[in-house]
Structure 1
Amino acid sequence: MTDTALTTADADAQAADAKAHGVGLTDAAAAKVKSLLEQEGRDDLRLRVAVQPGGCSGLIYQLYFDERFLDGDQAVDFDGVEVIVDDMSVPYLDGATIDFKDTISEQGFTIDNPNAAGSCACGDSFH
């Protein structure tokens, strides 16, 4: 096998992994998560993304660090940042991308979700 074949096989494996739960993480978001984990001094935490009932539009996002790995969780590693999604949230988050913005007008994590049909005026929930 040539080096090119190994590289292609590795890229294909990573692409397959990235589709395990369908959630993407931008480089900016991955860097911010790594920074936050370094500040905490923890290397046993994962970034959990979930959808829960709530808010004025019906569903809210949950984004937090978790040391647990539960039955039904799907995980994808993004350059050292493990993102986990529970099996109930996967259909709501498939194709979503998590980004981190740090500008004068915006700061924080954002979720671009093509499955969200609409959101409330406050922007905290979706349906």
Structure 2
Amino acid sequence: MTTPTQDAAASTEADQLKSHQVELTEAASSKVAALLEQEGRQDLRLRVAVQPGGCSGLIYQLYFDERTLDGDAVRGFGGVEVIVDKMSVPYLDGATIDFEDSISKQGFTIDNPNAGGSCACGDSFH
């Protein structure tokens, strides 16, 4: 028989281990791994979030984070962990993060089937 404290601890641990449906391409995973290596820290993960802002109402945020928050969804890609907060999970379900490195463009891109449209700047969506 478990105690309420043990049940709460197990529940918190399970909440942190929820998975999400965001995909990270091999190119994006390799770039993130290279950036993490440059940082020289083993405790960082890629956090993907959706925040209010931009001309279309919502913007993507990609950054390294050492924290895990209650309700975070975590998924690994070849040694790279991607974390999505519980509020962003529905907005990012099925999204694919890629990295493009060509003569005309360099950077991360997000193909999101949940976005109804985006603005001309390409930084926000609705």
Structure-1-length-normalised TM-score: 0.84
Amino acid at match of 2:22: V
| 1:90 CA drift (Å) | 0.4
Q: CA deviation at 1:83?
A: 0.2
CA distances 1:30-79 after superposition (whole Å, capped 9, x unpaired): 00001001111111000000000000100000000000000010000111
1:117 maps to 116
Q: Which runs of 5+ in 2 are unaligned?
A: 1-17
- How far, CA to CA, are the matches of 1:114 and 1:105 in structure 2? 24
Amino acid at match of 1:105: S
- Report the alpha carbon displacement of residue 21 of structure 1 after superposing the two structures with TM: 1.0
Indicate the SS of the match to 2:29.
helix
Match of 2:60 in 1: 61
Taking the TM superposition and a 5 Å limit, the aligned residue runs for 1:48-87 are 48-87=47-86
TM-score when normalising by structure 2: 0.85
Q: Distance in 1 between matches of 2:42 and 2:98?
A: 21
Aligned residues, how many? 109
- For 1:93 and 1:69, how far apart are their aligned partners in 2? 18
Name the SS for the 2:48 alignment partner: strand
- Report the equivalent of 1:22: 21
Amino acid at match of 2:71: G
Q: Tell me the amino acid that sits aligned with residue 100 of structure 1.
A: F
- Aligned CA-pair RMSD: 1.0
Q: Aligned equivalents of 2:118 and 2:51: distance in 1?
A: 14
Structure 1 unaligned spans of 5+: 1-18
Which amino acid is 1:20 matched to? S
Deviation, 1:20, is 2.1
Runs of 4 or more above 2 Å deviation:
none
